A and B are shown apart, each in its own frame.
Chain A
Amino acid sequence: MNTRTFGLLLGAVVLIVILSIPVFGSPSAVDITFRTCSLIALAVSWNLMASAGLISLGHSAFFGLGGYVVILSANLLGMPFWISLIASLAAGALFGSGLALITGRLRGIYFAITTLAASEGLRVIAVMLPALTGGAKGAFLDAKYYPGTFTVNMGMSLAAAVTCLIAWRMSQSRIHYAFRAMRANEGAAQMLGIYPLKFRCAIMAVSGAVASLVGGIEAFHGGYLDPAIAFDLHITITSQIAPILGGIYTLSGPIIGAVATVFIGDATRLSLGHIEGVSLLVFGLILVFSILYLPQGIRGGLSDLWRRRSATAEPTKMAKP
């Protein structure tokens, strides 16, 4: 089985599972699927930007923005579920492409830090405008706009599915070539006629829209939002951990990684959660050791294993640049 069929198969399985569980699943299965789908969408969205060479340290900016857009458009304007989500989608896309425009010249760590600053900046704004956002004591979504458990869970499943489909479509399209070229060498990419800013805007709009949408659905799901939650750096970090754990720059990596992250997180929390401090300690250590010993992620580790098993002498995988 080659990676392509493996990927398609995995995609099909994931699609079926995440779309059927909200319909047939037990409450705990629905709950875990919701969180996994949320992370899948965030991880794929983060990975989209990463695959164009844009390392985001501020994905929580999109997430929080989407959440607040939902709460405000529902509470203040009385917009129904789907319309609020479209609003959060649009806000995320706008913010993403705006950020792309102002960070046009920045790369690498400088770009990453700017996104971090953007997220922290939004947090300060949310804290300091209590009249609008409820400030640090937070805001509840008016319960009458809650569309029901099924709709919210299905919404998240659909969001994850559509995100994966978008990522898959992109991986099949010419844009994918531009992203990979930009990631490898923006200068050389330009000489082939690639206008990096255009693609940056596009990818950050898509990625931002997805993360913002996830934030919006999460806001419906949780029903409560405050700045510390909305712009929590942990959202950024888990959306990075998943692709890194699964296999960065790949299609299936973020999905595998998201499932693994939720699994590890729940396992440590449920098995060690009664001892003060231990569950996050173990999570941190797992993170450290997987970076040290699985630098290509689970996907890389698996395909290494695969290659060692298969007798054919394929060329060995490229060392990281």
Chain B
Amino acid sequence: MRKALCLGTSGLLIAAALSFAAEAQETFKIGAPVSISGRYVAYGVQGKNGIEMAVDVWKKVRGDKVAGRTIEVLFRDTQSNNAITVSLMNNFILTDKVNVIIGPDGSNVAAAAVPPWKKIEDRPIWLLPGGSSDVIEKEVGPDPYFFHTYAWSYYYHESNLKALKALVGPNKKVALIYSDGAYGRAHIDDARHYIKEAGYEIVSDELVREGSADFNPTLAKIRARRPDILYVLVQTNDAIQLTKQIQASRLNVPYLIGTAQAQLPEWQNAVGESQSCWTGVTTWVPGLSYPADKNEPKLFPSAADWEKAWMEKFKAVPEFLEVGYYASTILTLLAVEATKSTDREVLKKWLEEQHYQTPLGDSKFIKSRVALHQTFGEMVVFQRQKKADGTFEGVLIYPEQIATGKLKPCTY
């Protein structure tokens, strides 16, 4: 009896081990840490949508498998919590043995994912379509397996200031507002750097509290300085009430410069008329005129077509994270398909050499300040302008070759 039991158990174990091995051969596993509860839930849902859309399109275009392997996406909820993110990363790498990690979202959570990934020697390739904070870049360093598919914070300010210098001219007075949250702190140093480099004078440099109930003290102090440009570095939630309060407080600043928030439908809906005149800088905005890729027109259609397909599936305008997750997922699938391999060296080499025209722009990886692989960092500057019918649109104002309109000073 006991012997039978022993045999049975070991048989089961062997079977399990075999099936595990077989599965490992046949499956391509993507580990997707996404924050779908907790405070980053809005981002997490976008990341999840992007990946799901990519897998759907892939299956439609190329069939259910990639290089003969079943595609398996392991969505795991970070609960916007760093300890859980650490545990997720460990489990992805050590237990699930995923081939690629895509995500997570939210600066803190992305930062928390870096050390557990980095300290494991045979870590898989990691594509990060978010997380712009320069501390993440510094911490990851020149890691061969890290692929950042989003702009670093300093790209924003470089582009912004280039646009300002070209469109507004030299010798301006700038007032800076930044939050004490992760977003403001991650951006402020580079913002100051590029503003000074442009030869502008910072007349007011104001810290605000994340989630503050009243920005009036800050605005009153800025009003007294009469700046030409108001440069705002706050995260979406704060941006909403700050934008409304800026309009209410009649600052009479001709140029209102923001970063990412102005292209978010979330922000536009919440601030209504107050969005007028704000400029934003982003990697992707609806209405970009990127063409379809020559070789993979179905996976990477033109920006306009892709947007249409997205609208059909989700009944909503896609947001930049969604495009980023989409493009990153498609790229990894293409890599596996092309190389017939899940070996990270092979994939890495392929990713380094690939070059597509995606709905998010050119996919070629370049070196950034510290990181080895960086793409989708091309930024466009646009301004929210009121159309004749009373609705607002994002008018591209920089770089000049894709500009669809001109920067207009504020009227209120």
Contact = CB atoms under 8 A, between A and B. Distances in A.
Interface of A: 26-28, 31-32, 34-35, 38, 127-128, 130, 134-141, 143, 146, 149, 218, 221-224, 226, 228-229, 232, 234, 269-270, 273-281
B36 A273 contact: yes
Given A135-B180, A137-B133, A276-B41, A27 B75 contact: no
Contacts of B115: 140-141, 143, 146, 222-224
Interface stretch (B3-11, B86-94, B303-311, B344-352): B86-94
B109 to A, nearest CB: 9
B232 interface: no
Nearest to A29: B95
Interface in B147-186: 179-182, 184-186
Contact of A140 (B75, B81, B87, B135): B135
Nearest to A39: B83
B116 interface: yes
A277 B135 contact: no
Nearest to A152: B119
Contact of A218 (B45, B83, B108, B119): B83
Contact of A223 (B95, B119, B184): B119
B41 A269 contact: no
A301 B254 CA distance: 67
A277 B39 CA distance: 10
B243 interface: no
Interface string B60-98: 000000000000000111010111101100110011000
Contact of B75 (A134, A137, A274, A277): A274
B107 interface: yes
Given A27-B95, A224-B82, A278-B37, 17 more contacts: A27-B94, A32-B87, A136-B180, A136-B184, A139-B135, A143-B119, A146-B119, A222-B86, A229-B83, A269-B77, A269-B79, A273-B76, A274-B48, A276-B41, A277-B36, A279-B37, A280-B79
B210 interface: yes
A138 B210 CA distance: 15
B116 A223 contact: yes
Interface residues of B, number: 41
Interface in B14-61: 36-38, 41, 44-45, 48
Interface string B181-211: 1101110000000000000000000000010
Contacts, number: 118
Contacts of B77: 269, 273-274, 279
Contact of A222 (B91, B95, B116, B181): B116
B180 A31 contact: no
A78 B267 CA distance: 44
A93 to B, nearest CB: 23
B39 to A, nearest CB: 9
A218 to B, nearest CB: 7
B112 interface: yes
B334 interface: no
A229 B185 contact: no
Contact of B38 (A138, A270, A280): A280
- The SS class assigned to the B binding surface is helix
Contacts of B111: 137-138, 140, 224, 226
B214 interface: no
Contacts of A226: 108, 111, 182
A158 to B, nearest CB: 19
B298 interface: no
Interface string B103-131: 00001100110111011000000000000
A281 B119 CA distance: 33
Contact of B37 (A35, A127, A137, A280): A280
A28 B91 contact: yes
Given A149-B119, A278-B37, A229 B79 contact: no
15 contacts: A27-B91, A27-B94, A28-B91, A32-B87, A135-B185, A140-B115, A221-B86, A224-B114, A226-B182, A269-B79, A274-B36, A275-B36, A276-B44, A276-B45, A279-B79
B41 A28 contact: no
A137 B84 contact: no
B135 A134 contact: yes
A228 B39 CA distance: 11
5 smallest beta-carbon distances between A and B, as pairs: A223-B115, A27-B94, A273-B77, A137-B185, A28-B95
A26 B79 contact: no
A276 B116 contact: no
Contacts of B116: 222-223
A210 B321 CA distance: 41
Contacts of B79: 269, 279-280
Nearest to B45: A276
B400 interface: no
A222 B48 CA distance: 24
Contact of B108 (A34, A130, A138, A279): A138
Contacts of A137: 107, 111, 133, 135, 182, 185-186
A229 B77 CA distance: 17
A164 B388 CA distance: 71
Contacts of A224: 82, 111-112, 114-115, 139
Contacts of A280: 37-38, 79
B56 to A, nearest CB: 15
Most buried by B among A26, A28, A128, A218: A28
Contacts of B181: 136
